[in-house]
Amino acid sequence: MTVRPSARYGHLDHTRAEGHSAMPETDQRDNGRGLWYGFAAYGIWGLFPLFWPLLEPGAADDILANRMVWSLVAVVLLLVVQRHWSWIRPLLRQPRRVAMLAGAAAVISVNWGVYIWGVNAGHVVETSLGYFINPLVTIAFGVLVLKERLRVAQWTAVGVGALAVAVLTAAYGRLPWIALTLALSFATYGLLKKKVGLSGLESLAAESAFMFPFALGYLVYLEVSGRGTFGHTVAGSYGLGHSGLLMLSGVITAIPLLFFGAAAVRVPLTVLGLLQYLAPVFQFLIGVAVFHESMPPARWAGFGLVWAALALLTWDALRQVRADRALRAAAVPRPAPADQSAEAAAAVTR
């Protein structure tokens, strides 16, 4: 998973209508396309648990290294097609941003590796939990790192989320470390990306460039040690199609980012903030319905608390959006009635 929106939603598309929308028909069509792009991005991310098992018998480290290498190949091809290189030179003149991108690359490598291992080890439901609680962890980061102030509902949501982790720890008989690692790594990644300020495709290109030499070197090591699977065929186990799927891992990493970028410029962030829950919902359903992972009552209780916290968080965010909209509407000066304007003009002439 990846580049995901913050838990705070502040952007709105405003209209100047009274009683009806004044949005042009073309904008409405563009908004509709943006919604479908958003569905496509989060839908693909949500279906990832169906893809990684196809790459077995490759181990998680083999799959991860191939994903890093082929992601750079895919994103460079996309940049060539778009002729989008102008951002690179200014970036290289800013060492602080480059260092943050290196940190983001390291953090997302951990996220990808734990996610792939978790899915292929039969912990799809727990990986979905990581992305369910990610907005709550992002809020906690906002307080601890950015010194943001929370509203009462947000504090309550974070408290309920912490209670959910405690309940799930008892339910699993261990700390849900897969979920916590995914949530913490992705929240850290989001914080670094926010400070760097690149688009999803640009960011993936830079991060993949950092990952590439390490990943390529590791693939060479796997090959020398006899553990690599790319380019090999084993009768009755896997053939060249396996190598094709490993190469495809780079494409399926880049394509959702393109869809997300197209959605982000067409729909309000409030909509993207709601769409982000599609991915963990799909992952959860796949874990339960497709892979038949166990969900005893205690785990249902823990997930129920997480969903309650997210519902509270979403309600508070939408309420805040409406309040901000009302304040902005009140701040816009209203034109004086025609008769008052005429009287004022007459007074000036007198």
Q: Is position 341 within any domain?
A: no
Q: Is position 17 within any domain?
A: no
Most confident of 6-10, 28-32, 178-182: 178-182
Q: Is position 94 within any domain?
A: yes
Euclidean distance between CA atoms 7 and 317, whole angstroms: 8
- Give me 306's structure tokens: 């997480």
- Structurally, how many domains does the chain consist of? 1
Which structural domain, as residue segments, surrounds residue 96? Answer: 30-321
Q: Is the pLDDT of residue 9 over 70?
A: no
pLDDT band at 22 (very low <50, low <70, confident <90, very high): very low
More confident residue, 327 or 333: 327
DSSP letters spanning 71-138: HHHHHHHHHHHHT--TTHHHHHT-HHHHHHHHHHHHHHHHHHHHHHHHHHTT-HHHHHHHHHSHHHHH
pLDDT value at residue 197: 81
Q: Is the pLDDT of residue 102 over 70?
A: yes
Q: Is the pLDDT of residue 18 over 60?
A: no
How many CB atoms sit inside 10 A of residue 216's CB? 14
pLDDT more than 70, % of the chain: 86
pLDDT value at residue 60: 95
pLDDT band at 319 (very low <50, low <70, confident <90, very high): confident
Residues 6 or more apart from 163 whose CB is under 8 A from it? 305
Judged by average pLDDT, the poorest of 26-30, 209-213, 282-286 is 26-30
pLDDT band at 6 (very low <50, low <70, confident <90, very high): very low
Judged by average pLDDT, the poorest of 21-30, 53-62, 65-74 is 21-30
* Mean pLDDT, all residues of the chain: 84
Q: Is the pLDDT of residue 166 over 70?
A: yes
Q: Is position 349 within any domain?
A: no
pLDDT value at residue 147: 80
pLDDT value at residue 276: 85
Q: Is position 347 within any domain?
A: no
Please work out, in degrees rounded to the nearest 5, the angle formed at the alpha carbon of residue 145 by the alpha carbons of 104 and 276.
60
Mean pLDDT of 104-110: 94
Q: Is position 306 within any domain?
A: yes
Q: Is position 4 within any domain?
A: no
Position 347: which residue type? A
pLDDT value at residue 336: 56
Mean pLDDT of 239-249: 93
Q: Is position 340 within any domain?
A: no
- Give me 54's structure tokens: 């196809």
pLDDT value at residue 251: 92
